Structure 1
């Protein structure tokens, strides 16, 4: 780790998070039910200092699901505006692909963090996720089907 210059120390900082979309054979998206907040989420979380978004995504998946599957391409990047109790941030979403039966059997949820997980059809995301996350996940699912990466602002694709 290098020492930051005075110029660098004066630059603005943004909150960063990373998540992973996993799918089953039917194309449903894996969601997790966190113990510490409502509602449901996708696997992922805050990127730590000096950690890349991909490293953060891998670490969070290991912590939340107890597995270390291959994580594929970047599906989307979402800038989120500041809102009450949250600063602005950048969220990266990676493609975890279709989980194998062996990977599914290997999932071990930490009781102090994740209550359960479930595969949910894309058209039911609004019933489980906050609107911002539902928009983000739908945009990334669409990008995945097209073999693209999507840039979003507050979950809305920007062309």
Structure 2
């Protein structure tokens, strides 16, 4: 009995770590800076709806759904995409199908609608999933939730 009690006390003492570690970054550490070319509209404070998060203009939306040029595109493949960060404005797809950022287009398999957007690389195998912007999902009219199969083209 005494051994069991001593063992319990000894093991519980192992979980005590003393003071909490300092989680602040070290002095002089470089912090991430916003992209200088981001330039787009900033999401308003307190945004809670898709309309509030979508800061694209009617002109930008019209350009994104304009018919693509018949030549000059390369099919990259299919991906399954979910909604990316609604705080990142614009028309974009983060996908492992590309290794560098560039213009492209996606077609929703469910309804055939397409959107021109920026293709942004992310780590992962080519078959891994992708993240798509709120503005692009709204124009594709496939819903904001769930997983959406997309055909991806690079310009």
Superposition TM-score tier, normalisation by shorter sequence: under 0.3
Give 1 or 2: higher helix fraction.
1
Give 1 or 2: higher strand fraction.
1
Q: Which protein is bigger by CA-based radius of gyration?
A: 2
Length-normalised TM-score, structure 1? 0.24
